[in-house]
Chain A
């Protein structure tokens, strides 16, 4: 079985983002970029399935600028076999899903594991959209995945607990935090990753229209939260919570 894992290059989760003063977006110049954390979990899961002998090939795919090659190399260092970069910038989730659909069909893929959302635009859409476009089953927010014969059983983190669903293969899985803990790529594996195959294609090559549907009119900072007061004792704290804030 062949698996695709999409990986997105985003601002590192530890970086405090800066909204551009002109309100056109978030400043990404000279900012540390990393693989979207949920995608890292997706790569790890796919590689574990390969190590367990259930998957033959793991293909890491990114839709983004040329620098997204680094993100794909990170996936290759974790253990993905080869990479494909779709060289397009600012592509919306629906169009990303269309690009992935084209690649899934071209590469005869039976399972796509995606991060549940990217921590930049927080859309949480691509996996579900890809499932709809392919007419496949979907299991979002996975915390446990069992790949069987012709089916996949997924435990999902839902509001208030866990839900288990069984999907026919081929299928889509999106990852939640608890699914696994991604490994650190070892230096030899990082070196090896540099030699792995990485192809670049365009949306036109795949016959997909990626024109945006949304226009971002402005991006602003949320209302600032000011520092409050320091209290001197537990008694004072409890008094303030009871009588001033009225929250206990």
Chain B
């Protein structure tokens, strides 16, 4: 009874998130199979075969698997649940959508976003947006898990040479159809995967002033975020929101500008490696989590910061 890792890919290339899940799998055992389900996705399967630690790659190719629709992929994974003890995917939008469907088909209570493996049936996971960490033990025979990508380093991309075995699709469930996608042509990195994030709060006063953040973001390749207060005030759209009810980010560098640091915001960014706070109120709660705090007028500081960073 081995471990099955569900690959994340776009048919051409394997997404790095797959390698985070492989690392989590190595904590559970050494018999690691990767499932690549897609259409014309041989290249992704070949990439999976090269990950050190992977013992076998299963390749399922069919038109109905092309877009990773959970209605078509979940039955295939569930069928493989008969011969695997662990079914693992990284908690990306694909993993989050698909794995609970697999778990229900197998009558298993999934464990979401594990952060560590404490034993063959014991895992830690964040609850309350990471404000508490629960250690949970499952009684289910098959374990369906999603993995928090930031908690497991990605396995190397090269070094292995696992055999690739073709398997059949379980067919088109006929429930859903992929219509299209609009992948953001971000001039900047996407918020949840960005290594640097700069966010503005109510202190920005209006949306126009977010240009001050953009000037700095452009220099360091950062994504732009915002606090709920800034979103509620209409400065920026909803998808900028970092916080408990918005996006959870954990970049290497997080710069909070004019953000007081409400609990709801802190929940979304406090796992960042280095936090910088810029705020005119020296008593603002954001300073209690910041590695570097700068008290002052952001309208004066931000242009200076853009210039100073540019100097190097």
Which residues does A use to contact B, with CB under 8 Å?
A: 11, 13-17, 19, 26, 37-38, 92-95, 97, 119-133, 135-141, 153, 156-168, 171, 177-178, 212-222, 225, 227-231, 233-235, 237-238, 240-242, 245, 247-248
Contacts and interface: CB of A to CB of B under 8 A. Distances in A.
A235 B107 CA distance: 58
Contacts of A163: 67, 178, 180-182
A62 to B, nearest CB: 19
Interface stretch (B34-42, B128-136, B201-209): B128-136
A165 B177 contact: yes
B81 interface: no
Given A94-B110, A128-B100, A177-B246, 9 more contacts: A13-B264, A16-B131, A94-B103, A94-B109, A125-B100, A159-B193, A177-B239, A219-B133, A222-B133
Interface residues of B, number: 92
The 3 closest A-B pairs by CB, nearest first: A137-B175, A228-B291, A128-B100
Contacts of A233: 294
A233 B305 CA distance: 10
A248 B70 contact: no
Contact of B105 (A122, A132, A168): A132
Interface of B: 67, 69-71, 74, 92-94, 96-105, 107-113, 122, 126-140, 173-184, 186, 190, 192-193, 196, 220, 237-239, 241, 244-246, 252-253, 262-264, 270, 273-276, 282, 287-295, 301, 304-305, 308-309, 312
A226 to B, nearest CB: 8
B71 A138 contact: yes
B179 A237 contact: no
- Most chain A CB atoms below 10 A, which of B69, B132, B192, B274: B132
- Most chain B CB atoms below 10 A, which of A16, A165, A216: A165
A220 B132 contact: yes
Contact of B112 (A125, A160, A227): A125
B180 A164 contact: yes
Nearest to A228: B291
B109 A222 contact: no
Contact of B132 (A141, A157, A221): A221
Contacts of B288: 227
Nearest to A134: B104
A176 to B, nearest CB: 9
17 contacts: A16-B131, A38-B245, A93-B100, A94-B103, A119-B128, A129-B100, A137-B173, A138-B70, A140-B93, A140-B97, A162-B182, A213-B139, A215-B137, A216-B134, A221-B133, A222-B130, A241-B253
Specify the main secondary structure of chain B where it touches its partner.
mixed
Contacts, number: 257
A162 B94 CA distance: 12
Contact of A178 (B96, B134, B237, B308): B237
A213 B140 contact: yes
B81 to A, nearest CB: 13
Contact of B183 (A16, A132, A161, A225): A161
B64 to A, nearest CB: 13
Contact of B262 (A14, A125, A136, A178): A14
B175 A136 contact: yes
A145 to B, nearest CB: 13
Contacts of A93: 100, 109-110
Given A165-B178, A214-B139, A231-B293, A157 B239 contact: yes
A122 B182 contact: no
- Most chain B CB atoms below 10 A, which of A97, A120, A127, A217: A217
A235 B308 contact: yes
Contact of A229 (B94, B245, B292): B292
Contacts of B238: 177-178
A230 B128 CA distance: 29
A248 B190 contact: no
Contact of B293 (A216, A228, A247): A228
A219 B137 CA distance: 12
B264 A213 contact: no
Given A125-B110, A214-B139, A97 B129 contact: no
Contacts of A212: 109
Contact of B108 (A162, A213, A227): A213
Contacts of A234: 294, 301, 304-305, 308
A92 B109 contact: yes
A58 B238 CA distance: 26
A131 B103 CA distance: 11
A56 B165 CA distance: 51
A217 to B, nearest CB: 4
Contacts of B270: 225
A171 B175 CA distance: 9
Contacts of B183: 160-162
Nearest to B93: A158
- Most chain B CB atoms below 10 A, which of A129, A130, A164, A233: A129
